[in-house]
Every structure is written in structure tokens, then in C-alpha cells.
């Protein structure tokens, strides 16, 4: 069975909002003019519209040729109409040629997008030339131009639609001003008298704002409907993808995608709070890998994005056979991803849960390997800060069982700016965090916090239960700061005298004061191995007894732990 590095089987909740959240009700409706999610236009849409554009341009040229042959019949002013067709025909032909390039040219999406902006400008210019001939406010060309602009918004994205409407309104107002000033006659195309609408400049200037307002509201209405439909469609799609991604081994939202033309994304391995992990394959070397991708709705969050990138940075800095190997980290089309070695095995959590604990010999082996991995991290000035059974993978190898440490997502480098300053006060899984983490004093967290967590993990491996149990996070944090775990021998009486010695080693590792714990994970693993043989030195037993009898050094911090948790729970919910 395949398991995902760094992730539990928890399914993330996609939070989808049907609009941009504003600070007040007045700003919310205005914000909904803008899409909440990035709008991507498929290349096929650009090319299909390019084909339509070329056909429409050809029809316009044919219409103008027929109109030129029927000028007298249509009542057009011959000289003025023919003069206007020089720029108008040029714009139409240019639009048709660009439509052919967009349709048949093998261009990338960004280049097609740029050409579409140019086509919009050319087509708007053609409409404005005709509006100057048929009338700036009351002619059929005004309605036609506005409909085309709205179609651009419905077909493409907000920017292209706004570009079309903006150019049209600015050009129309310029023509209105020229007509009102007498620089340009109204309805120049016709040789008959001017309509009453254009009888005076005062009437033109009075009606123009109303017409422009109607055009703005028309665009707002169409845009609002498009945004709502797109948000609902995305919400439904994200929900379906998330539901489909619940069961590992199934097809996920990224399955079949090739990242950076190198990594083929295959079956989903697992889903976590920050992203998804897939089985993948390097296209050239055919090496099987694990690919971790950040949830789409988290890509725009700078804190979460920095934390995701930091995992690759920190894990890559640790050289150990007992730390998951980071192969690559990159971004593909705005999607960050990390490529890790593919691990086949079971997490310690899955191995121990629903049991009464593991054999001490197995736990000794796990303790030794985890200690080696943590020691390599500490020598690289890296503190894991979230060591727990879910982040320890037990992998079968030809040389026997090997333990791998996963998920350096909330790790920090001591004395380095890599730690994110805007992170919430409490980081880590509450059940296995140290007292100094429980009170939110992250600046004081060093390798001894990992030693406390390792002691809690060993307690879990031996007993099959977590060292601190409570019905709420604040209660767990208070117990971490104020209480000792239940005696190990109560759950493993079969261990005999060894049980007391193993409990003594765990007690030192989980001392409330950091300075009273083991100074290195190596010392912890060595004493644990000796205790499993029933040969722990007497001075170590006395040291543990003193810690048990002494009042917890952090007495009084429980209230601070509760306060810190209550202050940060909304941020971490």
C-alpha cells in the first residue's frame, strides 16, 4: 500500500466564496464585479473566436461593397460615406487577418490573449467610425457595438470585456463632444435632415450621460451574471474534485497532468490540510516519485505559500537516510509543487492505533532511527516542531525496517529568517508538542522541543495511546504544561522491570523544563536502548524520580496556554 509523505488522511475543506469578501456590505456588491478566482481562457476558445472574427470581417467587407453599389438607393451621402470607408475598411481587413492568425497560428495562450486585445481595439475603432456616420446616440451602431462588447465579457474574461466597453464609451463620448461643439455633423451618412435628437448641442449633452449610464449598467449586469455563474461552477467542480480525492488510489484533480514537462502526475496518495500528494513519475528517468501540490485556494495566501516552499528548503538541507528526500521543487502554471522520494509503508500512527503497543525491541529500532534523523536536522540548525506518529513512516527495505521523518512544513532554522513571522502563536500538533510550544513561545523553541515530542511518540508506540487526553485543545495544552502522562506501567504490565526503566527515559525526555531534558536525541536513544534491556544506570533512574517528585517547573503556564490557544484558534480553524 502506498502512503503519502507528510500528510495524514484528513480531507481538506475547500472554501469557496461567490464573490470577493468586502469589509462592508456597501463594498461587497461592488467587489463582486471582479472575479474571485483566476479566469483562464482555453486556447480553443481563442482560436474558435478567431475563426468567427475572420468570417464576420469577410461578411462586413461584402456588406460594404454592396452598400457602395447602392449609395443612392439607401440615401447615403456619397462623398462622406466613401471617405469613411477608407479607415473602416482598413480596420475590418486588419481584424480579419488577425482572426486568421489566431485561428490557424500555433501560438501560446498568452500571445493569443495579446492579439485578442489588439482585435478588440481594431473592432471598437470600426464601430466608432460607423457611429460617427450614423449618429453618436441614437443609431443602430450604438446598440450593436454594446452587444459585441458584452459578448466579449461573456466569452473571455473581465479584463478583455472591460477593455472593449471602456474603449467604446470613451470613443463615443469623444464623438458626442465633437458633435456638440459643431466640429462634426450628426448622422453624416444620410443626405436627409438630421433627427430631432441632434437638433441642438444641449439635447446631445443632456441625453449622452443617460445613454452612457445605460451602457455601464448593462456591462455591470452581464459581468455580475458571468461572475456568479463562474463562481458556482468552480465551487461545484472543487467539491466534486475534493470528494473524488477522498479515497487514496483514486483519480485526483491533478491526475494526468505533466508538471514542467518532467513529472507525470498519477494516482492520488492522500489529502492533507494544505494540499494533496500523488504518485508520480519522472518522464525521462522513469523513477517513481511522490508529488505534493498545494491546494489551489491556498496558492494566493503568502503565508501558506511561504510555508509550503519552506518545507522543500528545510528538508533539502537535512542529509539523512531517515529524513524524506526532497528531489525537486518548482512551480508549474502558478501551481507550486514539491517532488519527494516515494515511500511504501505505513505510518507509525497506522501501525500502532487500535493496539496495546509495540514490542520494545521494535520501538528501540524506531527510536534509534528517528534520533539519527533528528540529530542530522539539529546539526543543520533545523528544528522540526511537529514530530508525531503521523509524520513517521515505517518503510520495509532489504536491510529491514527503516523509519523516515516527514513534513518539515512548520520547521524553522535557528538564527535564520526562514521562520515566518506572521505564523500563529501555536504551531504543531497539540498532543505531542512541548510546553514551550504550548504557551506560544516559539522564539524559545529549539531542538529540545523535538526531544520532548520524541519522548511522547515513544510513549505512544509502547502504550498505543497518546500521553495527554482531553476533550478540547486548551485542556490538552494545560495538561502538557501542568501534568505528567499516566504511568506507562499501567498500560504495559507485561514489560516487568523494563517498564519502569523505559518510563524513566521517557520522563526525562518529557521534562517540563527544556534544560532538564536530554540535550541530544542520540543520548535519548542510547538510554532507551539500554532501558529496553533492563540495564539502565541507577543515576538515570534517580534523575527521573527527581523530576517526577518535583513540582512541574512550568506551573502557572497552563492559563497562558489556554489564553494563547483561544487567541489563535480562529486563525487556525
Say whether 526 sits in a helix, a strand or coil. helix
C-alpha cell, 201: 448641442
Q: What is the mean pLDDT of residues 191-213?
A: 65
CA–CA distance, 491 with 92 (Å, rounded to integer): 85
Return the minimum-mean-pLDDT range out of 101-110, 217-226, 307-316, 410-419: 410-419
CA–CA distance, 490 with 484 (Å, rounded to integer): 14
Q: Is the pLDDT of residue 23 over 60?
A: no
C-alpha cell, 113: 490573449
CA–CA distance, 458 with 367 (Å, rounded to integer): 7
Which residue matches cell numbers 511522490? 290
C-alpha cell, 510: 518529557
Per-residue 3-state assignment (H helix, E strand, C coil) for 314-360:
HHHHCCCCCECCEEEEEEECCEEEEEEECCEEEEHHHHHCCCCCCCH
Q: Where are the beta strands (DSSP E) in 448-553?
A: none
Other beta carbons within 10 Å of 149? 27
Q: Where are the alpha helices (DSSP H) in 348-493?
A: 348-352, 360-379, 435-438, 447-463, 473-482
Distances (CA, A) of 498 to 99, 230, 459, 558: 82, 64, 14, 32
Distance in Å from the first CA to the final CA of the chain: 31
User: Which one of 386, 407, 431, 527 is the catalytic residue?
Assistant: 386
Selection from 10-14, 79-83, 236-240 with the highest mean pLDDT: 79-83
For strands 288-294 and 335-341, give the pairing. antiparallel
Average pLDDT, the chain: 77
Q: How many helices (H) and strands (E) does the chain have?
A: 18, 11
Q: With beta carbons less than 8 A apart as the criterion, state whether 173 and 212 touch.
A: yes
Q: What local confidence, expressed as pLDDT, does residue 560 receive?
A: 44
Say whether 75 sits in a helix, a strand or coil. coil
Ramachandran assignment for 128, one of left (phi > 0), alpha (psi -120 to 50 degrees), beta (any other): alpha
Q: With beta carbons less than 8 A apart as the criterion, state whether 6 and 292 touch.
A: yes
Q: With beta carbons less than 8 A apart as the criterion, state whether 43 and 112 touch.
A: yes
CA–CA distance, 329 with 338 (Å, rounded to integer): 4
Q: Is the CA virtual torsion 144, 146, 147, 149 positive or negative?
A: positive
Largest CA distance in the chain: 117
Per-residue 3-state assignment (H helix, E strand, C coil) for 285-300:
CCCEEEEEEECHHHCC
Q: With beta carbons less than 8 A apart as the criterion, state whether 455 and 512 touch.
A: no
Q: What local confidence, expressed as pLDDT, does residue 48 receive?
A: 87
Q: Identify the helix (H) or strand (E) that includes residue 50.
A: helix 43-68
Q: Is the pLDDT of residue 295 over 60?
A: yes
CA triplet 99, 104, 106: central angle to 5 degrees? 115
Q: Which residues are CB-contacts of 129 (< 8 A; sequence separation ≥ 6)?
A: 84, 87, 88, 91
Ramachandran assignment for 423, one of left (phi > 0), alpha (psi -120 to 50 degrees), beta (any other): beta
Q: What local confidence, expressed as pLDDT, does residue 13 receive?
A: 30
Q: Where residue 444 falls among pLDDT bands split at 50, 70, 90?
A: confident
- Exposed/middle/buried for residue 175 (C-beta within 10 Å: 0-12, 13-18, 19+): buried
Q: pLDDT tens digit string along 482-505?
A: 889 999 999 999 999 899 999 999
- Exposed/middle/buried for residue 42 (C-beta within 10 Å: 0-12, 13-18, 19+): exposed
559 is an active site residue? no
Q: What local confidence, expressed as pLDDT, does residue 21 receive?
A: 33
Q: Which residues are CB-contacts of 51 (< 8 A; sequence separation ≥ 6)?
A: 99, 103
Q: What local confidence, expressed as pLDDT, does residue 185 receive?
A: 66
The torsion angles phi and psi of 321, rounded to 5 degrees, stand at -70, -10
Of 119, 117, 108, the residue nearest 43 (C-alpha): 108
Q: Is the pLDDT of residue 319 over 50?
A: yes
Q: With beta carbons less than 8 A apart as the criterion, state whether 249 and 2 touch.
A: yes
C-alpha cell, 114: 495579446
Q: What local confidence, expressed as pLDDT, does residue 39 receive?
A: 63
Q: pLDDT tens digit string along 227-284?
A: 777 666 666 666 555 555 455 566 778 888 999 999 999 988 877 767 788 999 999 9
Q: Is the pLDDT of residue 563 over 50?
A: no
Q: Which domains does the chain have, with CATH numbers?
A: 33-240 (no CATH), 258-341 (3.30.200.20), 346-572 (1.10.510.10)
Q: pLDDT tens digit string along 388-436?
A: 999 899 998 888 889 999 887 666 555 443 444 334 334 446 889 899 8
CA–CA distance, 573 with 571 (Å, rounded to integer): 6
Q: Is the pLDDT of residue 12 over 60?
A: no
Amino acid at each position: 500500500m502506498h502512503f503519502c509523505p507528510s500528510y495524514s488522511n484528513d480531507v481538506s475543506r475547500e472554501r469557496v466564496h461567490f464573490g470577493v469578501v468586502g469589509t462592508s456590505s456597501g463594498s461587497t456588491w461592488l467587489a463582486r464585479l471582479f472575479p474571485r478566482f483566476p479566469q483562464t481562457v482555453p486556447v480553443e476558445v481563442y482560436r474558435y473566436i478567431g475563426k468567427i472574427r475572420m468570417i464576420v470581417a469577410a461578411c462586413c467587407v461584402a456588406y460594404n461593397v454592396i452598400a457602395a453599389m447602392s449609395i443612392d438607393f439607401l440615401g447615403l451621402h456619397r462623398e462622406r460615406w466613401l471617405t469613411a470607408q477608407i479607415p473602416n475598411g482598413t480596420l475590418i481587413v486588419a481584424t480579419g487577418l488577425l482572426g486568421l492568425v489566431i485561428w490557424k497560428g500555433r501560438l501560446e495562450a498568452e500571445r493569443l490573449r495579446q492579439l485578442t486585445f489588439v482585435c478588440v481595439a481594431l473592432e471598437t475603432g470600426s464601430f466608432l467610425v460607423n457611429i460617427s456616420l450614423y449618429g453618436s446616440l441614437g443609431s443602430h451602431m450604438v446598440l450593436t457595438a454594446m452587444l459585441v462588447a458584452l459578448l466579449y465579457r461573456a466569452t473571455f474574461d473581465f479584463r478583455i470585456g472591460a477593455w472593449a466597453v471602456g474603449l467604446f464609451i470613451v470613443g463615443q463620448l469623444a464623438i458626442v463632444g465633437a458633435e456638440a461643439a459643431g466640429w462634426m455633423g450628426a448622422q453624416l451618412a444620410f443626405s436627409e435632415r438630421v433627427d430631432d435628437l441632434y437638433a441642438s448641442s444641449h439635447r446631445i449633452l443632456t441625453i449622452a450621460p443617460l445613454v452612457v449610464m445605460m451602457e455601464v449598467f448593462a456591462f455591470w449586469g452581464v459581468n455580475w451574471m458571468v461572475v456568479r455563474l463562474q463562481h458556482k461552477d468552480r465551487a461545484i467542480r472543487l467539491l466534486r474534485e475534493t470528494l473524488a480525492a477522498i479515497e487514496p488510489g483514486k483519480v485526483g484533480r491533478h491526475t494526468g497532468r505533466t508538471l514542467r514537462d518532467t513529472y507525470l502526475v498519477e494516482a492520488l496518495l492522500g489529502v492533507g490540510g494544505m494540499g494533496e500528494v500523488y504518485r508520480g513519475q519522472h518522464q525521462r528517468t522513469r523513477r517513481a516519485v511522490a508529488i505534493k501540490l498545494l491546494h489551489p485556494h491556498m496558492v494566493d495566501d503568502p503565508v501558506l505559500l511561504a510555508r509550503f516552499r519552506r518545507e522543500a528548503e528545510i528538508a533539502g538541507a537535512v542529509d539523512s537516510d531517515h529524513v524524506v528526500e526532497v528531489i525537486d521543487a518548482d512551480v508549474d502554471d502558478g501551481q507550486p509543487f514539491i517532488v519527494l522520494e516515494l515511500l511504501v509503508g505505513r505510518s507509525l500512527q497506522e501501525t500502532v492505533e487500535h493496539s496495546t503497543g509495540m514490542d520494545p525491541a521494535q520501538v528501540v529500532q524506531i527510536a534509534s532511527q528517528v534520533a539519527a534523523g533528528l540529530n542530522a536536522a539539529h546539526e543543520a540548525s533545523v528544528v522540526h516542531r511537529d514530530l508525531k506518529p503521523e509524520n513517521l513512516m515505517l518503510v520495509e527495505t532489504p536491510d529491514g525496517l527503516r523509519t523516515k521523518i516527514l513534513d518539515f512544513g512548520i520547521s524553522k532554522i535557528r538564527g535564520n529568517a526562514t521562520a515566518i513571522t506572521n505564523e500563529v502563536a501555536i504551531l504543531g500538533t497539540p498532543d505531542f508538542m512541548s510546553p514551550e510550544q504550548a504557551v506560544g513561545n516559539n522564539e524559545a523553541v529549539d531542538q529540545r522541543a523535538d526531544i520532548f515530542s520524541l519522548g511522547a511518540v515513544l510513549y505512544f508506540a509502547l502504550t498505543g495511546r497518546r500521553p495527554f487526553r482531553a476533550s478540547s485543545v486548551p485542556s490538552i495544552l494545560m495538561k502538557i504544561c501542568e501534568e505528567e502522562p499516566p504511568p506507562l506501567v499501567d498500560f504495559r504490565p507485561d514489560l516487568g522491570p523494563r517498564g519502569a526503566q523505559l518510563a524513566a527515559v521517557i520522563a526525562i525526555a518529557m521534562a517540563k523544563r527544556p534544560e532538564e531534558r536530554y540535550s541530544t536525541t542520540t543520548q535519548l536513544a542510547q538510554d532507551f536502548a539500554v532501558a529496553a534491556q533492563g540495564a539502565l544506570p541507577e543515576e538515570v533512574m534517580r534523575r527521573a524520580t527527581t523530576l517526577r517528585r518535583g513540582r512541574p517547573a512550568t506551573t502557572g503556564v497552563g492559563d497562558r496556554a489556554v489564553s494563547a490557544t483561544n487567541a489563535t484558534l480562529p486563525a487556525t480553524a
